[in-house]
A and B are shown apart, each in its own frame.
Chain A
Amino acid sequence: MNRSIIISSVLHLLLILVTAMSLPFLAKKPLDIPPIVSVELIQIAEKTNIPFAPKAKKIIEKVKEKEKKLVSEQAPPKKVKKTKTKTVVSVEQNEKVDNKTPEAVPLPEKTVKKIETKKENKQNPDKLDEEVKQVSEFEKKEFVDLDNIAKLIDKAKIESADEIKKNNDITQDQDRNIENTGLTLSEEDALKAQIFGCWSIPLGLPYNENLLVRIKLMLEPDGSVTKTEILDHARMNKPGQAFYKVLAESALRAVKLCQPLRVPTTGYERWKELQLNFDAREMLEG
């Protein structure tokens, strides 16, 4: 009896130990501490006018002197004039600003040093030009380069377009995964938008009547319509339903005007037969 109790307790202990050792969540991972981002706080007045830090100013002046030399040696004369005038104006303005506002915000020394070393290595005037702009972070107001702004805007557009494209791809894929029998929402919307533009609604229809026309289409893979069939055809010749004939004809015209229809590029078997339900009541009731 005692023996069996001992064996049982030993086995239990063994089991607990194995479990404790092997379970992953018990193992403590070292904390992944993100790098510290230093933030400088400045007071925002009604008109924010940030002056140059004295060190930064000196660096900029040096850079500009170098740039002038480089430009005179390598760059075409037109560009020299442009940069010269710009820099002169900006420096003068900055000096004025400096006099007015003594509380200058110093640029972190490390950054300045880095930029300085970079500048020393640079030979190409074009690249230097970029460097100057980077250094003169504070004088953005003075350097209004429209070309650059345009580039930024264009870039922003491209980036956003890429993002939209990516998102669309994702949603379409998701849609397909969710529903692989009918049209996806985006496919349906594309088709609807196309037909909305083609359907001229006859304005004289009595909006308190049933204004639903159902049309069955047979489609080619390229979206062209091979056959149309009005599903409630009998109603067209009923007395007092002349408006229905007018409505049905307008719907058929819309289909013909729109073809080839904006159908999905894949899954022809899914949509080779399609039913369009034209309902004018919403539009006519206003």
Chain B
Amino acid sequence: MKKKFIILFLILIFPLKVFALIEVDITRGNLNPLPLAVSPLAIDEQSRNEFKKIIKKENIGSEISSIVENNLKTSGLFNPLNKDAFLQAPEIANLKPRFEDWSLIKAQALITGKVTFIDEKLRVEFRLWDVLAAKEIMALAFTTVPNNWRRVGHIISDKVYERLTGEKGYFDTRIIYVAEEGPKTQRKKRLAIMDQDGANNKFLTLGNELVLTPRFNPTSQMVTYLSYFKNLPRVYLLDIETGTQEVVGDFPGMTFAPRFSPDGKKIIMSFAKDGKSDIYTMDLENRIVDRITNHPSIDTSPSYSPNGKFIAFNSDRSGYQQIYIMKSDGSDVKRISFGNGIYGTPVWSPRGDLIAFTKLHKGKFYIGVMRTDGKGERLLTENYYQEAPSWSPNGRVLIFYRETKTNSDGEGFSAKLWSIDLTGYNERLVTTLTDASDPSWSSLLSN
């Protein structure tokens, strides 16, 4: 009995840790772009000739892979490797990649694929490989009309982006903006639309009237914008597919800063009268107008939260223009910006966690983000003049416009679209045919 007790005692006091698994906590990593290889999509000779006739491109496989490569590169999260370093031919790589060859050039992921011409249609299959794990992690195929080849590239980019980052992509999207031409005092402004990478640019209005602040409907291909009618700014609705447009409501004063509700059923905007402006909503089905704010100050730039329960707007009710949030019925108004300077154009992120804004401080304009309680303000970019941020559908990138200073002769003025991601490091010029302002990012087209 005594012996048993001793043994039991020894077992209890003997350090059990000897048998425990050693644990090491890894709480840091690198945020460098992921090196990946985008192999040109393989194509047989017959398909190549057919596509050459239809879309006038020498090798559609290479063209599609270039779109994918460009998209992933501009995201700032991936580092597509130089094709000259590839050791395996596209046809063979698509069947069975030699992972040793790809890991030799430091690729961690590999995209391969094949393009074929079947029944007058374009069929694209692609595969995503984890080079280090030596396995396929995604394989998809799309069939569409040949003229849609650019969209196929964007959809592949979105799928790869989502698989490797864990969030949805933003490449199969469009941007609507105001195309500007002519001298600063006599600007011709037209509504224009293009793919997010600047391709397929189209002008939607003729430029006879001034247009401003176009905004996409989050659920369909409708746009609301502001245009002058009899020298009064009015909010309009435009169906991009049919080209039809209409005035939203018949207000006796000015209406401006329109934006859709997250379900696309309402428009929220400002209505100015007698030196003050308030926020109103209009139901697009029954055209019923609701007043949301009623304050003797200037309340404008309303933006819904993604769940539709809150509205962010800017107001000068505290003396300076600041950002406020309130419930969607106008109650519980709460100021959230308290930094130095003037805050404006708040836009709620599609993820719901951040609010983007324009800030003017000491003569400089900033594009920044803050949390919805106003904390964690981060200024992403600073310039002479820039404003109107608009979120990518995944809430990772902002597009905005930036104007340059004119010289003493009034020359040198330009307005360009720029994008910046939430890190603040990946700032890029978005190529447009003409000068551009007031961009608005659509939701994913392939949803």
Contact = CB atoms under 8 A, between A and B. Distances in A.
Given A181-B17, A181-B18, A280 B29 contact: yes
Contacts of A274: 21-24
Given A253-B130, A279-B26, 6 more contacts: A192-B26, A198-B30, A200-B31, A205-B167, A270-B22, A275-B22
A246 B132 contact: no
Interface of A: 181-183, 188, 191-192, 195-206, 208, 216, 242-243, 246-247, 249-254, 256-257, 270-271, 273-280, 282-283
Given A182-B22, A256-B132, A282 B165 contact: no
List of 8 A-B pairs having minimum Cβ-Cβ separation, nearest first: A204-B167, A199-B29, A204-B165, A243-B166, A246-B166, A201-B29, A256-B132, A275-B23
B11 interface: no
B137 A200 contact: no
11 contacts: A204-B161, A204-B166, A204-B396, A205-B165, A205-B166, A242-B166, A246-B163, A253-B133, A256-B133, A274-B22, A280-B29
B166 A191 contact: no
B33 to A, nearest CB: 8
Contacts, number: 115
Contacts of B161: 204
Contacts of A271: 22
B166 A275 contact: no
A72 to B, nearest CB: 64
Given A181-B18, A247-B166, A283-B29, A200 B34 contact: yes
A205 B23 CA distance: 24
Contacts of A250: 29
Nearest to A249: B130
B340 to A, nearest CB: 23
B244 interface: no
Contacts of A249: 130, 133, 137
Interface string B205-217: 0000000000000
Nearest to A180: B18
A264 to B, nearest CB: 11
A181 B14 CA distance: 12
B108 interface: yes
A275 B26 CA distance: 10
Contact of A277 (B24, B34, B165, B166): B24
A191 B83 CA distance: 34
Contacts of B29: 195-196, 198-201, 250, 254, 278, 280, 283
Contacts of B21: 216, 273-275
Interface in B1-59: 15, 17-18, 20-32, 34
B434 interface: no
Contacts of B165: 202-205, 246
B130 A196 contact: no
Given A202-B164, A274-B22, A277-B23, A253 B28 contact: no
Contact of B132 (A183, A253, A278, A283): A253
Contacts of A205: 165-167
Nearest to B396: A204
Contacts of A280: 29
B36 to A, nearest CB: 10
B331 interface: no
A196 B30 CA distance: 6
A260 to B, nearest CB: 14
B406 interface: no
Contacts of B254: none
Interface in B166-186: 166-167
A268 B434 CA distance: 67
Given A181-B17, A249-B130, A202 B26 contact: no
Contacts of A196: 26, 28-30
A273 B399 CA distance: 49
A246 B34 CA distance: 13
B24 A276 contact: yes
Interface string B131-170: 0110001000000000000000000000001011111000
Given A181-B15, A246-B164, A246-B166, A277 B22 contact: no
Contacts of B32: 200
A199 B26 contact: yes
A278 B26 contact: yes
Given A196-B30, A242-B166, A243-B166, A183 B396 contact: no
A110 B25 CA distance: 65
A195 B30 contact: no
Contacts of A191: 24
A279 B30 contact: no
Interface centre among A203, A250, A278 (most CB of B within 10 A): A203
